[in-house]
């Protein structure tokens, strides 16, 4: 019998074995992989992962579910971290980390930003998320789904939607469709902003009020002459800029301000 899903944790337990097998196939776990599963819940994904791995780390915020995982799996195979993934110290795990999981819908975006912050330690990620969130993650400039999440993640990762899933694959069924996304950190020689904190603030300002032009939306961060230096029309809106253009604008802002 499944435990009662707790709304405050955004819990929807995957129960469809067909889709479970397809997720495991997408992850393709190998025995020596260093892998951490976020939000293992009842352990339905944990079980086939453990069957293929020598050891697995799991992060579970729900005390009762964490206790059940400790009882179900041997400690030399599964290390249960009873913690909030938003506060967990991923630096405590080895590098070349593979991160997987069915992310709680109510905190999925903050968790994605948390993983982006430690991307240099990560080999890849395979996450089950609300389909709308995945569509925002992989969106192209100029589309309705394109926004802050798209830019911040595309700055650090190559991403692809690999599987769509219906509400009926979960108990209780969510009110939305779901999807699986693969995220692979971009190589070391990737495009980087001179000041990454400023880059993130410029991106955030550009999308805070989507109808505003860049000149008005980012006035507090981007000096007027920075637009000319970056070769970007200040009358454009944030949703029309690609990642490289945001990097140019942030770098120009840093230079002009200095």
Which tens digits make up the pLDDT trace of 143-190?
Answer: 999 999 999 999 999 999 999 999 999 888 888 999 999 999 999 899
Q: Are 206 and 99 part of one and the same domain?
A: no
Give the model's pLDDT for residue 12.
Answer: 67
At 244, list the tokens.
């490289």
124 three-class SS: strand
CA 238 distance to own-chain centroid: 21
Q: Does residue 30 register a pLDDT over 50?
A: yes
Give the C-alpha separation, 27 to 22, whole Å: 9
Dihedral of the CA atoms 215, 220, 225, 226 (nearest 10)? -90
Give the C-alpha separation, 226 to 210, whole Å: 20
Give the model's pLDDT for residue 172.
Answer: 82
pTM of the model: 0.91
Q: How many CB atoms lie within 10 A of CB 89?
A: 9
Give the model's pLDDT for residue 161.
Answer: 97
Give the model's pLDDT for residue 6.
Answer: 40
Q: Are 180 and 207 part of one and the same domain?
A: no
Of 127, 157, 185, at which residue does a domain stop?
Answer: 185
**Residue 2 resides in a domain:** no
Q: Are 26 and 90 part of one and the same domain?
A: yes
Domain that holds residue 79: 7-185
Give the model's pLDDT for residue 1.
Answer: 45
Question: Would you say 124 and 182 are in contact if contact means Cβ atoms under 8 Å apart?
Answer: yes
Where does the pLDDT of residue 105 fall: very low under 50, low under 70, confident under 90, or very high at 90 and above? confident
The predicted model gives 74-82 an average pLDDT of 97
Report how many domains make up the chain: 2
DSSP secondary structure code for residue 182 in this structure: E
Q: Does residue 103 register a pLDDT over 80?
A: yes
Give the model's pLDDT for residue 10.
Answer: 46
**Residue 191 resides in a domain:** no
71 three-class SS: helix
**196-208 vs 243-257: helix axis angle to the nearest 10?**
110
**Residue 1 resides in a domain:** no
Q: Does residue 246 register a pLDDT over 60?
A: yes
Q: Are 66 and 134 part of one and the same domain?
A: yes
Q: Which residues contact 168 (CB under 8 A, 6 or more apart)?
A: 16
Q: Are 106 and 213 part of one and the same domain?
A: no
Q: Are 15 and 137 part of one and the same domain?
A: yes
CA 71 distance to own-chain centroid: 29
Q: Does residue 59 register a pLDDT over 90?
A: yes
Q: Does residue 18 register a pLDDT over 80?
A: yes
- The CA-based diameter of the chain, rounded to the nearest angstrom, is 63
Q: What is the mean pLDDT of the chain?
A: 93
Q: Are 173 and 240 part of one and the same domain?
A: no
The predicted model gives 77-102 an average pLDDT of 96
Which tens digits make up the pLDDT trace of 185-200?
Answer: 999 899 999 999 999 9
Q: Are 71 and 152 part of one and the same domain?
A: yes
Where does the pLDDT of residue 207 fall: very low under 50, low under 70, confident under 90, or very high at 90 and above? very high
Q: Are 157 and 100 part of one and the same domain?
A: yes
Q: Does residue 4 register a pLDDT over 50?
A: no
234 three-class SS: coil
Q: Does residue 11 register a pLDDT over 60?
A: no
Give the C-alpha separation, 24 to 218, whole Å: 43
Bridge partners of 126, per DSSP, are 100, 182
Q: Which residues contact 255 (CB under 8 A, 6 or more apart)?
A: 194, 226, 229
Where does the pLDDT of residue 8 fall: very low under 50, low under 70, confident under 90, or very high at 90 and above? very low
Q: Are 71 and 151 part of one and the same domain?
A: yes
Look up the CATH number of the domain holding residue 231: 1.10.8.100
């Amino acid at each position: 019998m499944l435990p009662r899903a707790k709304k405050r944790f955004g819990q929807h337990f995957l129960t469809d074995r067909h889709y479970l097998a397809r997720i495991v196939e997408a992850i393709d776990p190998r025995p020596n992989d260093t892998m951490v599963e976020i939000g293992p819940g009842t352990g339905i994904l944990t079980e086939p992962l453990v069957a293929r791995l020598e050891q697995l780390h799991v992060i579970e915020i729900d005390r009762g579910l964490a206790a059940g995982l400790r009882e179900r799996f041997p400690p030399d195979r599964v290390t249960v971290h009873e913690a909030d993934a938003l506060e967990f110290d991923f630096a405590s795990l080895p590098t070349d980390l593979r991160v997987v999981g069915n992310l709680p819908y109510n905190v999925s975006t903050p968790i994605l930003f948390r993983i982006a912050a430690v991307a240099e330690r990560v080999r890849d990620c395979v996450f089950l998320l609300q389909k709308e969130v995945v569509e925002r993650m992989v969106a192209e400039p100029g589309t309705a789904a394109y926004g802050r999440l798209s830019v911040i993640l595309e700055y650090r990762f190559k991403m692809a939607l690999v599987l769509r899933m219906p509400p009926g694959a979960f108990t209780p069924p969510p009110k939305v469709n779901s999807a699986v996304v693969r995220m692979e950190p971009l190589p070391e020689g990737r495009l980087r902003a001179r000041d990454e904190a400023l880059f993130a603030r410029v991106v955030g300002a550009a999308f805070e009020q989507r109808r505003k032009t860049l000149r008005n939306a980012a006035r507090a961060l981007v000096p007027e002459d920075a637009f000319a230096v970056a070769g970007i029309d200040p009358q454009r809106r944030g949703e029309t800029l690609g990642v490289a253009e945001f990097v140019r604008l942030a770098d120009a802002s840093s230079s002009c301000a200095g």
